[in-house]
Amino acid sequence: MCAFVLSKAGAKVQQFFHIRKFFRKNILYFGIFFVILQSEMRKTAFILAFLACCLTVFAQTHTRIYNEQIRTLRVARTVLVLDKGVVDGSDAENSLHISFDEMSHDVHFYSYTVKMLNEGMTSGEYLQGFTTKDISDYEHSINTSREYTHYWFDFPNEDMKLTKSGNYRLTIYEDGNQDNVVAEVDFCVAEPIVRIDARVRPNTDIELNGRYQQVDIDLDLQKSGISYQPTEFTVVVTQNNRLDNAVTLTQPTFVEPARLRYINNKALIFEGGNEYHHFDAFSRFYAGVGIDRVYYELGDYNVLLFADEITRGQYIHQYDSNGRFIVNAERTEDSDTEAEYMWVHWTLPTENPWFDGTVYVGGELFGNELSLRNRMQYDVQAKCYWLTALVKQGGYDYQFWFSGKGTQNKTTTQRVDGSYWQTENEYAVYVYWRPFGARYDRLVGVKIISSAL
């Protein structure tokens, strides 16, 4: 595989711009992939895609795939807010749009069920309507090298409604057998009660303007109208929707009248990391950003990325989308069913392998998880790490994560990409409240902030 490794010298790609920009105070842009490719022999082409979300009510989602035939599991419109005691799906902007591909034209019988992630709660306490529902909407791919079937559905809906805030898991299974799980989606329902003030600073409690960023959080309970004890709250903080470095706090640093403060807490120090790498495989005919060449071989399209480099010690400023991706294909009317699946080849040259841990390609492309799907292998002859994965056409962010032995799946970017206080990261703050005698954790506040200065 590493015979694909090529030098970047003598090969340049027109740099894309404005993948990310910010809008009003409470709007966070979830992903812009705006690419302009130009050559002397063809006209300028571009793609633009936009997703937006509100800082105070958006909860992020996490996906997992358990069947190799299932690909490109996506969750769009991730707003879920408890409104007058129910989330019924009547508002398209307050629902989940879930889609995935099955890699054949065979029609499969899929269903889903939803469970609250609190032990002891029965479905009747948080779910109105049926406990399961079939997935009836699908469409076969059109004129693609690899056949696939695109499935989609919206949740909640008129048959299944939620009545409690908190953490949920939607499980997709096949042939009516709930033990035959093919994929899962974890999501949250919020009931905004607590006001959250959060900020990110490079001046951390362990160093000044170095490798780390620190989050400070204030919970304003003055207008909440609730009676509480400080120990009844749990605060969870994630960086770029990752779970491997998520932080859970059960005690505030300071307690003030109608205010809980989580400040100067070393647990809230995160690696700054580096900006994500990016490639855009929207075309079958020529190389987009980050791509050396696209070619067709043995019935499949292949995307050979430029060989990446170890850049620790050098902060690289570039716009990214914090690990997200978007499906997009040129010369199509519907990318969901007309985009090609391509073999994407990553390479990371290094003189010797690292024996003290493992390298992964991280990002939403692989569900921000560590698994065999995104674990890189080392080629001794070519002297590089490599990874090949089947990916749907579109624009993708990725990072190189190093997981050391004995770190319990904790990862670091410092081995390959380095870590810097200047890096723009997205932090999500989740506030849970379980009052005395309650049987579940209410999600009473969500705040998403950026470390951008």
pLDDT(281) > 90: yes
The pLDDT tens digits of the residues spanning 177-196 come to: 999 999 999 999 999 999 99
pLDDT > 90 in the chain, percent: 78
The pLDDT tens digits of the residues spanning 374-408 come to: 999 999 999 999 999 999 999 999 999 999 998 87
Q: Looking at the domain assignment, is residue 38 inside a domain?
A: no
Kindly state whether residues 266 and 282 are assigned to the same domain: no
Instruction: Please give the torsion angle defined by the CA atoms of residues 226, 231, 232 and 237, in that order, rounded to the nearest 10 degrees.
Output: 110
Could you write out the DSSP letters of every residue in 332-347?
-S-HHHHPPEEEEEEE
- Cβ neighbours of 261 (radius 10 Å): 16
Taking residues 71-86, what's their average pLDDT? 87
Provide the whole-model pTM.
Answer: 0.86
Task: Indicate the residue among 189, 214, 247 that finishes a domain.
Answer: 189
pLDDT(325) > 50: yes
Q: Does residue 286 contact residue 37 with C-beta atoms inside 8 Å?
A: yes
- SS3 call for 92: helix
Kindly state whether residues 224 and 164 are assigned to the same domain: no
Residue for token pair 């009052």: 435
Q: Does residue 444 contact residue 165 with C-beta atoms inside 8 Å?
A: yes
pLDDT > 70 in the chain, percent: 86
Kindly state whether residues 244 and 293 are assigned to the same domain: no
pLDDT at residue 408 in the model = 78
Q: Looking at the domain assignment, is residue 357 inside a domain?
A: yes
Reading the block at residue 322, the tokens are 């914090």
pLDDT(10) > 60: no
Taking residues 238-266, what's their average pLDDT? 95
Which secondary-structure segment (H or E) carries 53? strand 50-54
Kindly state whether residues 400 and 290 are assigned to the same domain: yes
pLDDT(25) > 90: no
pLDDT at residue 76 in the model = 85
Kindly state whether residues 316 and 386 are assigned to the same domain: yes
Domain total in the chain:
3
CATH at residue 164: 2.60.40
Kindly state whether residues 224 and 295 are assigned to the same domain: no
How far CA 42 is from CA of 10, 47, 184, 285, 331, in Å, comes to: 20, 16, 43, 12, 15
Q: Looking at the domain assignment, is residue 83 inside a domain?
A: yes
pLDDT(13) > 70: no
Kindly state whether residues 363 and 284 are assigned to the same domain: yes
Q: Does residue 74 contact residue 99 with C-beta atoms inside 8 Å?
A: yes
By CB atoms closer than 10 A (0-12, 13-18, 19+), residue 82 is buried
pLDDT at residue 79 in the model = 59
Cα distance between residue 132 and residue 212, in whole Å: 45
pLDDT(14) > 70: no
Task: Indicate the residue among 159, 189, 219 that finishes a domain.
Answer: 189
The pLDDT tens digits of the residues spanning 97-122 come to: 999 999 999 999 999 999 999 877 89
Q: Looking at the domain assignment, is residue 33 inside a domain?
A: no
Q: Looking at the domain assignment, is residue 299 inside a domain?
A: yes
Q: Does residue 212 contact residue 206 with C-beta atoms inside 8 Å?
A: yes
Cα distance between residue 95 and residue 72, in whole Å: 19
State which residues form the domain around 300: 277-404
pLDDT at residue 9 in the model = 30
Could you write out the DSSP letters of every residue in 95-112?
SEEEEEEESSSS---EEE
* In 240-340, beta strands by DSSP E: 247-249, 254-256, 259-262, 269-271, 277-280, 291-297, 300-305, 325-327
pLDDT at residue 409 in the model = 82
- SS3 call for 364: helix
Cα distance between residue 396 and residue 66, in whole Å: 22
pLDDT(210) > 90: yes
CATH at residue 436: 2.60.40.10
pLDDT(44) > 50: no
- Cβ neighbours of 379 (radius 10 Å): 17
Kindly state whether residues 163 and 267 are assigned to the same domain: no
pLDDT at residue 6 in the model = 39
Kindly state whether residues 283 and 399 are assigned to the same domain: yes
Kindly state whether residues 184 and 63 are assigned to the same domain: yes
Kindly state whether residues 322 and 342 are assigned to the same domain: yes
The pLDDT tens digits of the residues spanning 340-356 come to: 999 999 999 999 999 99
Amino acid sitting at position 118: N
pLDDT at residue 120 in the model = 76
Cα–Cα nearest to 276, from 383, 413, 405:
413
Could you write out the DSSP letters of every residue in 297-314?
ETTEEEEEEPPP---TT-
Task: Indicate the residue among 169, 189, 209 that finishes a domain.
Answer: 189
Beta bridge partner(s), residue 446? 430
Q: Looking at the domain assignment, is residue 146 inside a domain?
A: yes
How far CA 80 is from CA of 13, 155, 231, 332, 400, in Å, comes to: 40, 10, 26, 31, 31
Q: Looking at the domain assignment, is residue 294 inside a domain?
A: yes
pLDDT at residue 7 in the model = 33
CA atoms within 13 A on the CB side of 213: 27
Kindly state whether residues 129 and 156 are assigned to the same domain: yes
Phi-psi region of 4 (alpha: psi -120 to 50; beta: other; left: phi over 0): alpha
Q: Taking all residues of the chain, what is their mean pLDDT, rounded to a whole number? A: 87
Q: Looking at the domain assignment, is residue 39 inside a domain?
A: no
